[in-house]
Structure 1
Amino acid sequence: MDSDRQPGLLDLRSYLAPALETVPAPDGWWSGPRRWRAGALDAEGLALGSIGALVSALAALDSAQGDAASGSRVATSSALVAASFDSIRHLRVDGNSADIWAPMSGFRRTRDGWVRLHANYPHHAERLLAAMGMTSADQLDAALLERDALEIEDAVRSGGGVAAAVRTPDEWAATPMGLAAAGEPWVGLALDEAPSPRPVPHDGVGGLPPSGIRVLDLTRVIAGPSATRLLGALGADVLRVDPPQHPELLDAHLDTGFAKRSAVADLRNPEQAARVRTLAGEADVVLLGYRQASLARYGLDIDSLREAFPHLAVVALSAWGWTGPWADGRGFDSIVQAACGIAHLYGGLPAGTGASSTVPPGRAPSGPSTRDAAWRPGALPVQALDHATGMAMAASAVALLAARSRGVTGSARLSLIATANELLRARVPDPSGGPVALVLETRHADSAYGRLDFVPPPLILDGTQLEYPHPSERYGSAPLGWSHRG
């Protein structure tokens, strides 16, 4: 590994060092091939490394709770990791696959290039049309061809929608936001001595390290919910709270709602906002996935929560990082890929044109093919930024719990763009050999929405596959309260 590329994707756990006395590096924590897709970037290394960070954090928490075998209890495999990072594509509801992409979402041609739009949520679709001065999606393609990509990006973002011009990595790196995000770590930890240390709850159920902790999940889409899905599988009491005015997409809820309860609270109602703050004070960990400016109005941003509840571990997610002009802006995995150059690296000419479909690893992202009328941008084979950041959120939560056992508390800041930067900076292993077929294991369970077919959690505990304790429950069906903790 090059010295200027430290810590490297398989050593992402080193970012947890500020919260841990030592960062465990368990032997044999993963099995299977190192690469299985052989794409333009090391997406497999990102996936393995992010889960490896969680494995190390769990070992540290286990050790803090007095388990002498903590260094070898938790493991994973390439097949489990690959399936978990593509969980929604493997999800079936009564035999039907998930459908999360709305018609207006995706890449669109502009007058001078390409833009990526995100309109899966109805309110974002409405804002997109309003920003473009349209009333019907039928007018969209023609209107986009009359404007430049950056002009469209600015108009949609200014109107509260979600869009990004497709840039090369060099173009992104030269923007004010690219420059600001370049210096941010994958995990930004802020730690304090606890004024009144509290022991970390541990009920010992199944010997799982986070058993007994309370996790308040104020996130949505994939990254945060995938983190709490896994924490729930590890024994945490997870309560996810959503706003009634912007409900989660059903298939997204079914994919990430395992091992947790689902509640609804309208923070615009003072009584309900106060109730959610009370829940935060009673929790051990709070995960935040909404914009900090929005949360601050209700005292639910990082600073407000840490000031009010010093024992609390707060783990927060941003799309674009924590400094710079887009720091509090809206964004999704696909939009970040488009803006930062990943979509460009995975772009190319369609099959059958006689040219390579993607930019080869290590080659500059410019060239005649990018100016060809048939060239189009591409994307990572899975939403790896979301899932890897979700694993980083879970790892950060566990690392902060381990720190709490020493009387240290704090918060962690993560972002999709920081994860993208790790991926873009990493050396790409030798792609020779092509894709590798992995064995897919699935599970089945009856739910309030029908029979679910799904993949299991990506962890093996003491040689046994970790399982979800229950499938996704009916959306919004849980009361605003915690399960009993003895």
Structure 2
Amino acid sequence: MTRSDDVPPPDAATAHAWTALGGDPVLSERVTYRAVSGGLPARLPVAELARATVGVCSLAAAELGARRSGGAVPAVRVDEGAVATAFISERHLRIDGRRPTNFAPLSGFWRAADGWVRTHANYPHHRARLLTALGLPAHSGPDELAAALVERPARAIQETVYAAGGLAVAVAEPGESEIPLGGLPLIETRRVGDAAPRRLGEAPRSANGDLPASGAWPVSAGPASAGPASGGLPTSGALPATGALPARGALPVNDGLPANDGLPASATLPTSAMLPASGVRVLDLTRVIAGPVATRTLALLGADVLRVDSPRLPEDPDAHADTGFGKRSSALDLAAPEDRRTFEALLADADVVVTGYRPGALDHYGLGADALLERRPGLIVAQLSAWGWSGPWAGRRGFDSLVQAATGIAAIEAKDDGDGHPGVLPAQALDHGTGYLLAAAVLRALTERQDTGGGHHLRLSLAGTASWLTHGIAPATPVGGPAHDPALWLAETASDLGALRHARSPIASPDGPLDWARPPGRLGADAPRWL
């Protein structure tokens, strides 16, 4: 029964995303939303995108849980308040009361001679390359950068900085884009090979029943200085097994939280319910927001997620504190033979590999999708990129803020200050939305693998999600609902990083928990092995 504050099904954006995932269209009508007012205000339909991505992820989890238990796929009811809170989880995060800094001083919008540019210099090596490209000293600050940029054309800045390995894009006008958005798919999926169907927890077999040989992955040491720019893995850290959250069903609830109505259906489940992704081993080769949000969601749903990063690249520990919930992580150098052997052993027993690198960046390590799927029948390879998988921008580095700028989103959301200053979405919605879509695609692939077998190759991009936001989602008629109160969806937990205040997951799977089984730990603290 639809309640007065529910967004009535069918929701067009939800139906579109579910169809793109290859799901049965009828099932999308089982997703409803509890409406709130003022959650993610924007000119573009950000709230519609956000709830749809969480809605299809919740439905995919419910579908997998039903397939494993032999029951019918239940309805799911997603709370828009939980969605709005989770989509800015990095802003809600507190570490011992400290508010993390999300953008460095040299990351932002800057006037150019003929418009605006957006830079990204959060990582030290990107900051250094930006300044080098512009001929500025290493100690330069915002004033020096602004003076250097205002005299140059925006596209000249863009190409000069990218050529030096830095990150800067020209801000496109409304309705325009630095990259061709037409035809960019939201989700690409393909079934690969003839591996026999198998239930979760079984070893993969080919169609003739043979087990694949383990420890036979191709080894390529690569250059000693390899990093993401040259195909190596990025850095990130690890989650210790200490400081676990209360068991499912025993979580403390905020005093102001409405009984049942404001909670995902999972909040009232008994602790004995099987998690949809229990027994699934996920090798996480992602960083920043989108990929880690996807794997954080899979961990919530019961997967054993191990994040692996290079010890030679810096990572923002605050970003890890936000997206490391539920996961473990280790540091391995694929150029070191012993670390490579350890990595091969992890691959041999993985169900899912998730990567967040530019197209082709991992190929020389033998970790391209085709190589993985050829050597491992039944593997699910999920790939994420910034700019898509073909065209002149495919090989460029990118982040949510840059994709917003290059696709016209920043101009559409421009401030009403009279000088045309570009604006931003109320959340890094391309990152978060793509993350939930990526998790949904993995869950659907796990369901399909049980029925039809084979391996699965999944590809998503921030640009594809931007195209959907700007061209594929119609603003919905407001339903109303109570005013958004993020405090209802925040929790506190102890961790090795300190006392954390964090956003709870918005996933509303009937077979899933309300919060993660463990908090994030210190970077690199876990042994590189499966549980």
TM range (shorter): 0.7 to 0.9
Deviations 1:119-176 (A, max 9, x none): 001111111111111113232111111211100000111111111110024331xx5x
Residues 117-132 of structure 1 aligned to structure 2 (within 5 Å): 117-132=119-134
In the alignment, structure 1 residue 419 sits paired with structure 2 residue 465: yes
Post-superposition shift, 1:249?
0.2
In the alignment, structure 1 residue 456 sits paired with structure 2 residue 504: yes
Give 1:428's aligned residue. 475
Post-superposition shift, 1:465?
5.5
Give 1:163's aligned residue. 168
Give 2:274's aligned residue. 207
Q: Secondary structure at the match of 2:430?
A: helix
Equivalences, count:
447
Q: Secondary structure at the match of 1:460?
A: coil
Alpha carbons 2:112, 2:153 under 8 Å: kept: yes
Deviations 1:400-440 (A, max 9, x none): 10111011321110000000011001222357989943353
Alpha carbons 2:276, 2:511 under 8 Å: kept: no
Letter matched to residue 56 of structure 2:
A
In 1, Cα distance between the equivalents of 2:37 and 2:466? 19
Alpha carbons 1:182, 1:418 under 8 Å: kept: no
Give 2:192's aligned residue. 192
Deviations 1:84-105 (A, max 9, x none): 1111111111111111311100
Residues 322-337 of structure 1 aligned to structure 2 (within 5 Å): 322-337=389-404
Alpha carbons 2:126, 2:166 under 8 Å: kept: yes
Letter matched to residue 282 of structure 2:
V
In 2, Cα distance between the equivalents of 1:9 and 1:119? 35
In the alignment, structure 1 residue 8 sits paired with structure 2 residue 54: no
Post-superposition shift, 1:48?
0.7
298, 301, 325: which one aligns with 1:234: 301
Letter matched to residue 166 of structure 1:
V
Letter matched to residue 184 of structure 1:
L
Post-superposition shift, 1:447?
0.9
Alpha carbons 1:24, 1:57 under 8 Å: kept: no
Deviations 1:357-416 (A, max 9, x none): xxxxxxxxxxxx5xxxx2200000110000000001100110110111011321110000
Which 4+ stretches in 1 moved above 6 angstroms?
431-435
In the alignment, structure 1 residue 45 sits paired with structure 2 residue 48: yes
Letter matched to residue 250 of structure 1:
P
Alpha carbons 2:61, 2:301 under 8 Å: kept: no
In the alignment, structure 1 residue 140 sits paired with structure 2 residue 185: no
In 1, Cα distance between the equivalents of 2:136 and 2:347? 41
Alpha carbons 2:85, 2:486 under 8 Å: kept: no
Letter matched to residue 503 of structure 2:
V
Task: Single out whichever of 290-299 and 100-109 deviates more from structure 2.
Answer: 290-299
Identity of aligned residues (%): 42
58, 62, 67: which one aligns with 1:59: 62
Deviations 1:261-287 (A, max 9, x none): 011111222332343233123111111
Give 1:33's aligned residue. 36
Post-superposition shift, 1:468?
0.7
Letter matched to residue 400 of structure 1:
A
Change (3 A) 1:304 1:23: farther
Post-superposition shift, 1:464?
8.0
Residues 215-226 of structure 1 aligned to structure 2 (within 5 Å): 215-226=282-293
Alpha carbons 1:37, 1:434 under 8 Å: kept: no
In the alignment, structure 1 residue 271 sits paired with structure 2 residue 327: no
Letter matched to residue 443 of structure 1:
A
Change (3 A) 1:345 1:130: same
Change (3 A) 1:166 1:433: farther
Task: Single out whichever of 273-282 and 193-202 deviates more from structure 2.
Answer: 193-202
Alpha carbons 2:294, 2:438 under 8 Å: kept: yes
Give 1:77's aligned residue. 79
Q: Secondary structure at the match of 1:25?
A: helix
In 1, Cα distance between the equivalents of 2:104 and 2:90? 15
Post-superposition shift, 1:310?
2.1
In the alignment, structure 1 residue 384 sits paired with structure 2 residue 429: yes
Alpha carbons 2:190, 2:458 under 8 Å: kept: yes
Change (3 A) 1:64 1:28: closer
In 2, Cα distance between the equivalents of 1:273 and 1:182? 40
Give 2:4's aligned residue. none
In 2, Cα distance between the equivalents of 1:28 and 1:327? 34
Letter matched to residue 125 of structure 1:
R
Task: Single out whichever of 441-450 and 220-229 deviates more from structure 2.
Answer: 441-450
Change (3 A) 1:477 1:23: farther
In 1, Cα distance between the equivalents of 2:126 and 2:512? 42
Post-superposition shift, 1:8?
3.2
Give 2:448's aligned residue. 403
Alpha carbons 2:95, 2:497 under 8 Å: kept: yes
Specify which structure has the higher proportion of helix: 1
Change (3 A) 1:430 1:459: closer
Change (3 A) 1:65 1:193: farther
308, 313, 324: which one aligns with 1:246: 313
In the alignment, structure 1 residue 150 sits paired with structure 2 residue 155: yes
Task: Single out whichever of 60-69 and 227-236 deviates more from structure 2.
Answer: 60-69
Task: Single out whichever of 267-276 and 27-36 deviates more from structure 2.
Answer: 27-36
Change (3 A) 1:305 1:70: same
Alpha carbons 2:275, 2:511 under 8 Å: kept: no
Alpha carbons 1:46, 1:388 under 8 Å: kept: yes
TM-score by length of 1: 0.87
Give 2:221's aligned residue. none
Give 2:529's aligned residue. 481
Change (3 A) 1:59 1:461: closer
Residues 166-181 of structure 1 aligned to structure 2 (within 5 Å): 166-172=171-177, 175=178, 177-178=179-180, 181=181
Q: Any gaps of 5 or more consecutive residues in structure 2?
A: 1-10, 203-270
398, 423, 437: which one aligns with 2:484: 437
Give 1:471's aligned residue. 519
Post-superposition shift, 1:64?
2.3
Q: Secondary structure at the match of 1:286?
A: strand
Change (3 A) 1:307 1:193: closer
Change (3 A) 1:337 1:431: farther
Deviations 1:283-342 (A, max 9, x none): 111110012322111111212211121211011001000111011210000000000000
Alpha carbons 2:383, 2:458 under 8 Å: kept: yes
Deviations 1:53-78 (A, max 9, x none): 21222232123213314323x44211
Q: Secondary structure at the match of 1:303?
A: helix
In 2, Cα distance between the equivalents of 1:452 and 1:38? 27
Q: Any gaps of 5 or more consecutive residues in structure 1?
A: 1-5, 351-368
Alpha carbons 1:144, 1:152 under 8 Å: kept: yes
Give 2:267's aligned residue. none
